[in-house]
Chain A
Amino acid sequence: MGKWLPLLLLLGITQAHGEMVALEDDELSAVQGAGIGFVLDGVLFDANQATITINDINNANGQNVPISVKEFYLGATGSNKGAVLNPVTIGRLDHPFTLGLAKGEDLRSLRDDGAWVQTTPNNVSVLQLNFPERLIGVGGQACIAGFAAAGSNCSTRAEGRVDMGIRFDFQVAAGRTDILNIDIAELVMDGSYLRLWGDDPRAQLVGEARVNIFAKSLELMSCAAGAANCATTAEQAARTAYLTNAFANIALGYGKSQPLLFDVNSNGQFVLELPNPVAAGTTQAERNALAADFYANAPRTNLVIGNLNFGGTRPGYGQVPTGGYNFGQSEIRGLSFNYLKVTSRDL
């Protein structure tokens, strides 16, 4: 508020001799339409007291299979699977979430080799929602503590990591409920973004998305804690899959030649498509150029699970489980979609 004082004084003083002056073109051109940044300060989310049911998912006989959503929480790291919820600040003031419009030629994406490349076409106005950015060089934080393979280019610090979880109870049939309980510890999603723009020739909304998920641990349990056969540590361990040091960089779309098309066709069916990147080329030389650009610059999808274990128990927080079945490390790296088309169909 103190800032306003000099301004008010200044206004009071200058009123007598100054009037409004139009901005020159060169001054105007220096004004960049900037978006807004936002930080989630001390947030905590807990839907444990609510009854949430998901419907309209049917079985083969066309009967509704209700899914109850339980133990849905988000809080600071160290929550012990949601038992101790504390608020967490997501995003930093100098590396916040951002929402805004930008020109296609001004946007950059981080390629796997650490270079920033343009992936959006020129001369389009792109609406973008960015998660906290990734940093190259100074100030980079480990994306997963103690797991160098995940990189150290996250802007989120240790205290900004998130614990979250959700449990789905599928009421498959009378007397039978299947459970999927997900708990994620130290989740970071830096560098994720969604970019949307209008494609003139296609006359539709197109986009590009990058989803980065880094987690110290992710546990999938197939029973409700405390229920029959799911009370003791051994019983719970026998029904749990443990992912330790897991991360995924999912790249959907390369705006220049393979934008992500998500639309509904005129029959009222959902379509998700990544078109053939060389489709726009009319000559062999053009197609070669498009392909070369696509292979050089299109972001790749990586999926890495530092350790996968079924049925073991963790000796300590964030540690690789012992016992059970240890599947070691599994990786998918450098996956690139040449073409993808998914359409819904009524059953």
Chain B
Amino acid sequence: MTSRLLALCVMLLSLPALAEMQALDDETLSQLNGQGGVYLSGEFSINKDGGVLWSLPLNNDPATWSADQRSCATPGASAVEHCGLRIAVRSEADGGWYVLDNMKGIFSFEGLTLRTRTINDGFGGDGANFNQDVLEFGLPSEVKFKDGSFAFGVANQGGWQNSSLSQANGGNPAYQQTNIFSAKIDGSIRMQGNVLIFPK
């Protein structure tokens, strides 16, 4: 593939003196192959220093917070902690909400790839019969987490409200949220392999 492109480049370079640019004819075009695929590595950090909704209070007692303060520290911890992103979903017209709360952290990965691949052999004999193109999503071999966290819970309102404050002070005593569990992730996780995607 590269040699063909190289030849094309050389040809293009050697021509300018004697010829002007010309559209490629269909036959020439059809001989060109796009070299596809994306290789991604990167790092991103979400809500490491909290969001815009809440600022950091001085302690972990909700009764002392002002209307725009919230801490998402682990139960029993003394130090306050910024709150991360919150996603709330209601699956019943008059029901309560599933909440994915306090999502934050730094994630970095190396070698996430996206390309197409023709499979016509291998896979224990299945490949020859399959014989079609698939989208190959290559997992990064390693994902690093730093202070990654999330909490899964249920609540009676989509948005978080401070149930320890009166309504006059910007809270809502009727607000109820139960965290089923929360998780913290630090360190690196090995994740290798490809996800092959195709129409079925």
Contacts and interface: CB of A to CB of B under 8 A. Distances in A.
B180 interface: yes
Interface in A227-273: 262-270
B138 to A, nearest CB: 9
Contact of A54 (B91, B93, B139, B182): B182
A52 B156 contact: no
Contact of A51 (B93, B119, B186): B186
Interface string A17-49: 000000000000000001111111111111111
Most B C-beta atoms less than 10 A away, residue of A43, A45, A157, A266: A266
Interface stretch (A172-180, A199-207, A287-295): A199-207
A50 interface: yes
Contact of B180 (A3, A9, A41, A56): A56
B30 A8 contact: yes
Contact of A56 (B154, B182, B200): B182
Interface string B170-193: 000000111111111111111111
Contacts of A63: 75-76
Identify whether the interface residues of B are mostly helix, strand, loop, or mixed: strand
B80 interface: no
Contact of B91 (A5, A39, A100, A204): A204
A47 B189 contact: yes
Name which of A41, A44, A94 has the most chain B CB atoms within 10 A of its CB.
A41
A49 to B, nearest CB: 5
A258 B29 CA distance: 59
A1 interface: yes
Contacts of B192: 42-44, 87
A338 interface: no
Interface in A153-196: 157, 159
Given A1-B33, A159-B124, A45 B190 contact: yes
A158 to B, nearest CB: 10
Contacts of B98: 264
A14 to B, nearest CB: 11
Contacts of A265: 95-96
A98 interface: yes
Interface in B108-152: 118-119, 123-124, 126-127, 129-130, 133, 136, 139, 145, 151
Contacts, number: 188
A93 to B, nearest CB: 4
B92 A344 contact: no
Contacts of B65: none
Interface residues of A, number: 61
A53 interface: yes
Contacts of A45: 189-191
Contacts of B118: 1, 3
B185 A270 contact: no
B181 A42 contact: no
Contacts of A12: 26-27, 29-30
A92 interface: yes
B92 A96 contact: no
Contact of A93 (B26, B75, B127, B189): B127
A13 B185 CA distance: 57
Q: Which of B26, B118, B157, B190 has most chain A Cβ within 10 Å?
A: B190
A332 interface: no
A268 B155 contact: yes
A37 B119 CA distance: 14
A54 B185 CA distance: 9
A44 B123 contact: no
Given A157-B124, A270-B178, A35 B200 contact: yes
B186 A202 contact: no
Contacts of B177: 268
A55 interface: yes
A57 B187 CA distance: 23
Q: Which 6 A-B pairs have the closest CB atoms?
A: A37-B200, A43-B193, A268-B156, A264-B96, A204-B92, A50-B187
17 contacts: A39-B196, A40-B196, A42-B194, A43-B193, A51-B186, A52-B183, A53-B183, A55-B181, A55-B184, A56-B153, A56-B181, A93-B126, A159-B124, A264-B156, A268-B97, A268-B155, A269-B154
Given A12-B29, A40-B193, A94-B126, 15 more contacts: A36-B200, A37-B199, A54-B181, A55-B184, A56-B74, A62-B75, A87-B192, A92-B126, A204-B91, A204-B93, A264-B96, A264-B97, A265-B96, A267-B96, A269-B176
